[in-house]
Chains A and B, each alone.
Chain A
Amino acid sequence: MTTQDKKFEEQEVALSRRDFLGLLGKGAVCAGALVGAGSAVALSETQGSKHAFQQNDEQYAEAVNDPPKIPDYNWNDHQWAMGVDTTRCIGCLRCMEACKMENSVQMDANHYRTWVERYVYLEGSNTAIVDTQTDPKNIENTGSETKFRFDNRYRNAKVDKAFFVAKLCNQCEHPSCVQVCPTGATFKSKDGPVLIDTTYCIGCQYCVQACPYGARSFNQSRGTAEKCNWCYHRITKGLNPVCVEVCPTGSRIFGDRNDPESPISLFIRNNHVQVLKPEMGNAPNVFYIGLDKEVV
């Protein structure tokens, strides 16, 4: 190894300590430009760090060297992400039903891990009317909170534009819910999903307040917070999250961003994707196409 190589390596190690590793292609930047370029890149790229949210170097090393004991699964190999193609969503709400069953979510119209919103612009209106299954008219239509279905209220209306948008936890890079959890009962796992340790949650609901996307709810029967974790028990077994599994039109796309040929990598690469409420600074990991100005 030449002296220059060694010097370069040392610098790289030093950089990795400051979370810059992974931003820089090896050998792509000459040693002199490293520092200046590094800070500029660090500013422009917030997802470059391999560390999970609020993880120090020691914990990161532990996460790499001694990952959680999950059979046939190593969280270092994956970086999960989801895509939602709103142009393909038919609003059948099968995802909501399947999610509630798979995850034993409370069976009422006020607690969801995922839900679908219907945006309707009536003719001549510049704002959308939004509703979800929670809307009393939709529940009256089916007569039950456990039958997931939109009513046909716009049958005779003059509709200018209308579409569905599926919502779920965005598993943010900088999750507000994790930031405000007083105990450490919720956390960002290394492979992406934000998980809840329901044996440790005290049920203060601060996270419910802090989530900009309304993705969290409070499970009264358990006395703890409730949220989508991309079916962590499924994705660690090689299955898709259940909402992706049952979507009849493939409007939900799920996969591993570490694999450049996974559906989600293709989806992100080949489309102009957006995220919800980017101004919140949460850096969501659910990517949308076909969003609209009215989508909140």
Chain B
Amino acid sequence: MPKHIVRLLGLVTVIAIVAFSAKYFLIPDSFYQYGHYRGNAVAEIASKVPKLQGSASCESCHKAVYAEWTAGIHRKATRNNAIQGVVYKSGPGCEVCHTGPAGNHPSKEAMPLSIEDRVTTITHSEHKVHPANVPARKLLLSPEDMRSVCLNCHEKLEARPIFQRQIEVASHSGEEFCTKCHNPHSPRIIYASLPQVRRGDPQAGKAVAAVCSGCHGVAGMSTSPTFPNLAGQHADFLVDALKAFKSGVRKNDMMSPMAAGLNEADIRNVAAYFSRFSCGVTGGDKAKALLGKVKAANCAACHSAGGLYGSGAPGVSGIPTWPNLAGQNAEYLSNTLKSFQDGSRNHPVMTSIAKNLSDADIDNLSAYYASMKCK
């Protein structure tokens, strides 16, 4: 065999030996142990530390909030779906809204888990310590943040199943914050637990009421449909209204000077006086009222005794600082809604709601509430 062939074969053999021994030595330990992979990789992957720790881990520090949550609807939100034979775990836990607190909370040093991660953690107004990467944001205080937290689940979306409680933002709260009415940890509104304002003295109020009776009637039933009935109205609402006239938040040619002459005690007393009268049904167009009933679903959250989901007299608000609408003069109601529309009256919730109503809607709604029984 010629020399060059021998040399070549030698060279090829050397290269082959080097290559195969290199291949042999470079195969990682535990490769092929359980299959075509590094057997040790399984335990390595499993050894990663979990970041989200579950709601129970929050309890040790946040006892009060945790108790609030456990008692509330967010804990029980999910129905037990027995039909499907699966017991679903209940409700959104802490980390559903406060994503990744265990991983990024309250400072990098306290929980050395996921420093490298860009995590957007939400905090409520009272939380003073913020994760380093959330620059002092007070979430749930601006509509923007509200959108990102509550509305993630509760905005009315096509495709969202009906069992999920959903709201149209514009007609539900407008520019108002969710936290104005709801406790995010236990968001169902419990009217009984809301604070009561000081009661006035109806007897003392009677004297003050003498000047009112010219328009609002002796027993609170007004003399003209453009004036509101006061009979049976929530005292707290009347107090708020008079104060608003006095301070100039609300303006009215008649009422502003009237309210200006009243002191704090007078306001409380006259409000208590009118609220004691029983109201009557002023009546409205029946056909319109029927149409208005459909539209009134948007109002029920505030202007119904049972709130959005409970049962209760429509037009009688659950919270005393919100006005009863039942039995109110239809013309007054429609004027009021229009004043919200044109901006002559302002309210964070009512303004945006009124702006979503057509003239016909206003007529129908006014007729509906005017024909409701107020007690």
Chain A residues close to B by CB (< 8 Å):
52-55, 59, 62-63, 66, 68-70, 73, 75, 83, 85, 87-94, 97-98, 101-102, 104, 107, 118-120, 142, 146-150, 152, 154-155, 157, 159, 162-164, 184-190, 195-197, 199-200, 229, 231-234, 236-237, 239, 242, 245-246, 248-250, 253, 263, 266-267, 269-271, 289
Contact = CB atoms under 8 A, between A and B. Distances in A.
Contacts of B48: 232-233
B38 A70 contact: no
Nearest to A159: B158
Nearest to A70: B46
Ranked nearest first, the 7 interchain pairs of A and B with the lowest CB-CB distance are A250-B88, A270-B85, A162-B159, A248-B92, A233-B48, A187-B37, A197-B41
A73 B119 CA distance: 30
Nearest to A58: B32
B38 A239 contact: no
Interface residues of B, number: 63
| Chain B CB within 10 A, most for which of A54, A249, A263, A266 | A249
A250 B118 CA distance: 26
**Residue from A52, A94, A185, A231 having most chain B Cβ neighbours under 10 A:** A94
Contact of A85 (B35, B84, B89, B159): B84
B99 to A, nearest CB: 5
A75 B42 CA distance: 10
Given A199-B38, A233-B47, A245-B95, 10 more contacts: A55-B34, A88-B163, A101-B119, A102-B50, A163-B161, A184-B35, A200-B28, A233-B50, A249-B164, A270-B86
Given A70-B46, A229-B45, A239-B54, A94 B38 contact: no
B67 to A, nearest CB: 20
Contacts of A245: 52, 54, 93, 95
A54 B99 CA distance: 39
A113 B26 CA distance: 32
A196 B42 CA distance: 9
A289 B158 CA distance: 19
Contacts of B49: 233
A61 B40 CA distance: 16
Interface stretch (B4-12, B147-155, B186-194, B258-266): B147-155
B77 interface: yes
A101 B103 contact: yes
Given A102-B52, A248-B92, A233 B152 contact: no
Contacts of B91: 248
B103 A55 contact: no
Contacts of B77: 248-249
Contacts of A92: 152-153
Contacts of A239: 50, 54
A250 B153 contact: no
Given A59-B35, A62-B33, A120 B47 contact: no
B118 A146 contact: yes
Nearest to B35: A55
Contacts, number: 204
A229 B42 CA distance: 11
A91 B47 contact: no
Contacts of A152: 155-157
B30 to A, nearest CB: 9
Nearest to B92: A248
A19 B93 CA distance: 43
Contacts of B50: 102, 231, 233-234, 237, 239, 242
Interface in B109-141: 114, 116-120
A197 B99 contact: no
A12 B44 CA distance: 36
Given A92-B153, A195-B45, A246-B93, A267 B84 contact: yes
A87 to B, nearest CB: 6
A112 B255 CA distance: 61
B78 A248 contact: yes
B21 to A, nearest CB: 20
Contacts of B148: 142, 147, 149
A102 B51 contact: yes
Contacts of B152: 92-94, 148-149
B31 interface: yes
Interface string B68-95: 0000000001100100111111111101
15 contacts: A53-B35, A66-B33, A70-B46, A87-B161, A90-B164, A91-B160, A98-B99, A101-B104, A184-B31, A187-B37, A231-B50, A245-B54, A246-B93, A270-B84, A271-B85
